[in-house]
Amino acid sequence: MMNLEVHLPGLNLKNPVMPASGCFGFGREYSQFYDLGKLGAVIMKAATGEARLGNDTPRVAETSSGMLNAIGLQNPGVEKIIENEVPFLAKYDTAIIANVAGSTLEEYEFVASTFNEAKDVCALELNISCPNVKEGGIQFGTDPYMAAKVTEKVKEASNLPVYVKLSPNVTDFVSMAKAVEKAGADGLSMINTITGMQIHLPTQKPLLSNKTGGLSGPAIKPIAIRMIYEVKQQVSIPIIGMGGISNAEDVLEFLLAGASAVAVGAANFTNPFICSEIIDNLPSTLEKYGINSVQDAIGKAVF
């Protein structure tokens, strides 16, 4: 039997597949389709210090081979998430990763320390790359000094392993990755969405109410692969790879480029069963290409 296990800081995963933050809510809706215990992990929707109502609609637009979104980090706030959502996910045999967002260093610290007190959360994904909120997020994700600063603060605020989710909307991605590694990050999560825009022809105005949105889906996969391949050569902490994954072949490509685990985003909207189907197809896909385990595939294209 093919060994799909991967062991990362704080995460002993039965397989490398997890839904990406923001594309899976807190799992409830998808639990009507399949057993969430099948997933390697679940990355929860972003949590902020207080509840956020997000942007005006329209918040999504389809593009060629992908979609734009500008939800604006709508969430009930970290305390309600711990009270109402974590216990639901904890019923399943899967690792829970909490996505930590904020507008200020203090807010990031508060969210991280609050999750630290919660049972059942295995790791934090530090969201310094949301392109859809006016304040916070992206400012920490585009400046290596700020990125290192917030990583240090969150590491101090919590004992949980921290995976920093990096923004592709920068000139020098590798130096961002190195800066957060040096600041103590346990891993990287990459890539977040790429800022884009669509003009609505009937109204001749940007379609999204936020004007810009984050591009995801198959359109961004080659960008993610390239960035992971480059970062893998320069940092030694593990990478959770994401960006347009929609089948088991894509997962293998991410592993070969240097990802140790993968997250599936927009494809959950196209097909709510996608994570489950990818997990089913992964063994035969690895076998087809002569790979003996998930562990064997990691970084094989790089080294």
Partner 1 sequence: MIKKEKMRVISSRQVAKDTTEMVLQNTYISETSVPGQFLHIFLDGHTLRRPISIADINKDRQTVTILFKKLGDGTEQLAKVTEGMLLDVLGPSGNGFDMCLEEGDTALLIGGGIGVPPMYSLGKKYSERNIQVVSVLGFQSKEYVFYEEKFKELGKTHIVTNDGSYGAKGFVTDVLCKVRGFDHYYSCGPIPMLKSVKNTLEGKRGSISLEERMGCGIGACYACVVPAQTEEGYKKICSDGPVFDVLEVVL
- Taking the complex as a whole, the smallest distance from the CB of residue 163 to partner 1 amounts, in Å, to 21
- Taking the complex as a whole, the smallest distance from the CB of residue 54 to partner 1 amounts, in Å, to 6
* Whole-number Å distance between alpha carbons of 89 and 146: 32
122 is catalytic: no
Active-site residue, selected from the candidate residues 23, 122, 130, 275: 130
Q: Which residues bind to partner 1, rule: CB under 8 A? A: 22-25, 28-30, 32-33, 45, 51, 53-54, 57-63, 65-67, 69, 71, 74, 76, 217-218, 266-273
C-beta closer to partner 1: residue 75 or 151: 75
C-beta closer to partner 1: residue 65 or 113: 65
C-beta closer to partner 1: residue 176 or 224: 224
- Taking the complex as a whole, the smallest distance from the CB of residue 132 to partner 1 amounts, in Å, to 11
- Taking the complex as a whole, the smallest distance from the CB of residue 52 to partner 1 amounts, in Å, to 10
Please provide the size of the chain in residues. 303
C-beta closer to partner 1: residue 4 or 219: 219
Residue 3 bridge partners (DSSP): 293
- Taking the complex as a whole, the smallest distance from the CB of residue 53 to partner 1 amounts, in Å, to 6
Strands 66-69 and 212-216: what pairing?
antiparallel
C-beta closer to partner 1: residue 10 or 213: 213
* Whole-number Å distance between alpha carbons of 163 and 238: 9
C-beta closer to partner 1: residue 59 or 155: 59
* Whole-number Å distance between alpha carbons of 286 and 296: 10
- Taking the complex as a whole, the smallest distance from the CB of residue 166 to partner 1 amounts, in Å, to 22
* Residues that are catalytic: 130
